[in-house]
Structure 1
């Protein structure tokens, strides 16, 4: 019994399995959601067209996704250059899949790209798009972590 508990603890520390994939995807979702919402709010408030607003939202999603990882690994003692390499290795595929899925849902949702900030359609479509992206990105993160990639790289610096 004690050996099983120890093995489970080691597995948890490595960030493996579905629980690790869910944690990694929630981390990714947080950064992406901050960037997405901020980009959509800025673009919509400034009256930008759909394409520039979408581009801004995607750029900010990558920025905030990487920034959250950078903050954590730099806090663990890595310098900026090394932390940037870890963030790029850990988050690029996860953020790219999440952005492809959630922006795809928003673009394909009738009227969502033209909805204003005060329109429930804007917020409803965005929330559903992020939820769908979470569900579809979690298996990608599980696959990457299982191969020592993605957030498995970040977990090497968590003690």
Structure 2
């Protein structure tokens, strides 16, 4: 059974924790995708598609890891991860990729360039700030990361 929280019970700390969790998975996938695409000399679109796909993969995998440890079956863990993370990861990915693509020269800077790494770090930081109130709102309505809370010990 899904416990519904009222908006006043969705603390900023809880939202920050959920957003940091989301950022961890997103950052692993995003950085890996950007590094692979850039190292292989792929264009912006192909690199962004890979980065987004890996961000979702790692984001869902981190959530599933905890849910599976709580003794939930694989199919249910997939459903929980999809419910918990999809909106959060989508917002984070839209924001961080729009920023990194929008910074002149960042996508073409190369892995040895400070511009590439600074743009990526800045984009992820802004994505965290934008996604934080989204997660607070969703948790307050019993959606998003609120569906994972019953599996945390």
TM-score of the aligned structures, taking structure 1 as reference length: 0.90
Cα distance between partner residues in 2 of 1:45 and 1:150: 34
Question: Moved runs in structure 1, 4+ residues, more than 4 A?
Answer: none
**Structure 1 residues without counterparts, runs of 5 or longer:** 1-10
Match in the other structure for 1:113: 107
Task: For residue 71 of structure 1, give the secondary structure of its aligned residue in structure 2.
Answer: helix
Flag the structure with more relative contact order, 1 or 2, with Cα contacts below 8 A and sequence separation at least 6.
Answer: 2
Cα distance between partner residues in 2 of 1:107 and 1:43: 13
Cα distance between partner residues in 2 of 1:117 and 1:28: 24
TM-score of the aligned structures, taking structure 2 as reference length: 0.93
> C-alpha root-mean-square deviation of aligned residues, in Å?
1.1
**Structure 2 residues without counterparts, runs of 5 or longer:** none
Match in the other structure for 1:22: 16
Match in the other structure for 1:43: 37
Q: How far has the Cα of 1:16 moved from its partner?
A: 2.8
Between Structure 1 and Structure 2, how many residues are aligned?
146
Larger Rg: 1
Task: For residue 72 of structure 2, give the secondary structure of its aligned residue in structure 1.
Answer: coil
1:139 pairs with one of 133, 139, 144: 133
The equivalences for 1:1-159 within 5 A come to 16-159=10-153
